[in-house]
Every structure is written in C-alpha cells, then in structure tokens.
Amino acid sequence: MEPSTDIHVKTAKIQKQIEEYVGLGSENLLFEYRKVGDVYHLDLITINPRHMQSFLFHTVSGVDKLDMLTKMLDYVKSYREKENSYTIQWIAKQDKELHTSYFRAKNMYDALDKLYYGREINAITVFSVVLNPVS
C-alpha cells in the first residue's frame, strides 16, 4: 500500500484541516465516534480552555470514519454561512461565575442541545439565549 492511500494518514490530514478551520488546537477539540444500530456518528466536541467545559460543536453520520470526517470538514468550511450565531449566558451548579458561550446552530433549541451535550439537565442554569445580529 502506498502512503497516499493509507487510511490513517488520510484521517489525520482531515482532522488537522478541521482543527484549522475551527481555529482550535488538538488539545481543545475531540473527535468522538459512536455506533447506534447500523449507523456511525461523529461528534466534534470543543473544550473551552478558560473554564474547561466541553460543548458539542456538530454531529455527522456516515458509513465509516473517513466518510464522517469528510462530512465534518465540509460542515466546518461553511457553517458560518448556514447557521445562526447564538450567545448563551449560563452558570454551572458548582460555579459562582457567570459564563458566556457562543454557538452556531439551526435554532435556539439546537444551540441549547450543544450547551447541554453530555450533561445532566440540572448541571447548568441558563440565564439567557440571544440570537446575534447577522454581520
């Protein structure tokens, strides 16, 4: 097998491109793969380095790892034009500090799903969800 067709090399290259488009280093971006029934999913998760909380960036489905990574790369190249920008102010139960996080999402509910990803519903109190003006 020649190096240009090595699946691991292709995977690493696409992941690096995704990191560059999102603007976060590999230490603040997680690629989580899961299988539900016969369908594979890739959850791209960001970690905010300031308050060390993780959030869902986007989910894609596909037939294999390379297919999902290619779909994720297509998404990160164009999500700013396709999705609305939301600002969410929230506080974690164990925290005393109000946090402000920004999400790109289809709607307010999608933005909240990204905030609550992997958390108990009572782990966070949301104070406001604002649709940001189009710039």
> Which secondary-structure segment (H or E) carries 54?
strand 53-62
Q: Whose CA is closest to 26, among 46, 9, 6?
A: 46
In the chain, % of residues over pLDDT 90? 74
Global pTM reads: 0.88
Least confident of 2-16, 62-76, 86-100: 2-16
Mean pLDDT of all residues in 79-98: 92
* Paired strand residues for 45: 30, 56
Q: Give the per-residue pLDDT at 135.
A: 61
Res. 3: pLDDT tops 70: no
In the chain, % of residues over pLDDT 70? 96
What are the structural domains of the chain?
1-81 (3.30.160), 83-135 (no CATH)
Mean pLDDT of all residues in 67-81: 94
> Which secondary-structure segment (H or E) carries 72?
helix 65-82
Q: Whose CA is closest to 84, among 102, 64, 107, 118?
A: 107
Contact 69, 96 (CB under 8 A): no
Res. 2: pLDDT tops 90: no
Q: Give the per-residue pLDDT at 1.
A: 40
- Would you say how long the chain is, in residues? 135
Q: How big is the CA angle at 67 (ends 65 and 73), to the nearest 5 degrees?
A: 100
